[in-house]
């Protein structure tokens, strides 16, 4: 496995997913031999701010990251999504605080050391191992979920839609158009709302008894019924726009 530049790949992945990055900070004890491959100067060349924390232990990183995040949470209204790249459950109170302020929490963790509890609180989640997918010719910036789906069909056969499926499609479309993710996107201060990420958010917060693949199917049904529109961009990402019958969804209480 060749050496990879963690920060470069993360930045490219976020930008290709449509995120407008307002702030990116790397915290750590940069005197630690384990970080000798990452000098602060090298990291800063990517436009990433670095914060050297003391040698007093891991807690100094936790405290500094939490204090800075809470400051931005209450003072910077331009930030809609807070991403925390860490696997420690100590960040659960921070993620809950982000959620309470009607912001989107996004956790990026490792599969090996990730605490499963943190996944139940974050609105969105992705494993680092899925972001860094290795291929023979280098690193793919697509998640494992997206690989092979760039050419998958959008929508379903209208004849296969039962009344129950139509009702499910209507409900997930309502969740979309009433979500803070959609609101900030349409106000011009947020990013595109992706199909797979939003389905994951619904599964964790609204439709906990459903499996993610079924929720994705409901959203495809909603596209066919014109409650919403699924659009595939040049990177293969599928995101939402309004449909011909979106007004019926928004106007129903």
Give tens-digit pLDDT for 137-183: 333 334 434 444 445 789 999 999 999 999 999 999 999 999 988 98
Q: 45 and 38 in contact (C-beta within 8 Å)?
A: no
Closest by Cα among 24, 31, 23 to 52: 31
- What mean pLDDT comes out for the span 214-221? 94
Q: Which residues contact 113 (CB under 8 A, 6 or more apart)?
A: 87
The predicted pLDDT at position 67 comes to: 94
pLDDT band at 77 (very low <50, low <70, confident <90, very high): confident
- Say what the pLDDT of residue 243 is: 95
CA–CA separation, 19 vs 88, rounded Å?
Answer: 24
pTM: 0.52
Residue-level pLDDT at 137: 31
For the chain, give the mean pLDDT: 81
Q: Is 127 left (phi over 0), alpha (psi -120 to 50) or beta?
A: beta
Q: Report the length, in residues, of the chain.
A: 253
- Quick one: what percent of the chain has pLDDT higher than 70? 82
Residue 127 is predicted with a pLDDT of 80
């Amino acid at each position: 496995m060749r050496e990879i530049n963690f920060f470069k790949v993360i930045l490219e992945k976020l930008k290709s997913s449509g995120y407008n990055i307002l702030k990116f900070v790397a915290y750590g004890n940069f005197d630690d031999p384990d970080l000798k491959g990452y000098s602060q100067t090298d990291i800063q060349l990517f436009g990433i701010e670095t914060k050297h924390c003391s040698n007093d232990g891991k807690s100094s990183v936790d405290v500094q990251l939490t204090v800075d995040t809470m400051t931005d949470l209450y003072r910077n209204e331009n930030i809609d999504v807070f991403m925390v790249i860490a696997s420690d459950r100590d960040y659960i109170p921070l993620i809950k605080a982000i959620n309470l302020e009607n912001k989107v929490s996004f956790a990026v963790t490792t599969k090996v050391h990730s605490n499963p509890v943190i996944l139940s609180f974050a609105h969105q989640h992705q494993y680092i191992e899925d972001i860094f997918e290795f291929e023979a010719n280098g690193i793919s910036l697509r998640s494992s979920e997206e690989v092979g789906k760039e050419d998958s069909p959008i929508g379903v056969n209208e004849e296969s839609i039962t009344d129950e499926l139509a009702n499910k499609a209507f409900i997930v479309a309502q969740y979309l158009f009433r979500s803070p993710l959609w609101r900030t996107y349409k106000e011009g201060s947020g990013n595109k709302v992706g199909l797979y990420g939003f389905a994951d958010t619904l599964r964790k917060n609204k439709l906990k008894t459903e499996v993610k693949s079924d929720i994705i199917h409901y959203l495809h049904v909603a596209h066919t019924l014109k409650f919403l529109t699924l659009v595939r961009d040049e990177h293969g990402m599928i995101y939402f726009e309004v449909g011909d019958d979106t007004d019926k969804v928004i106007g129903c209480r």
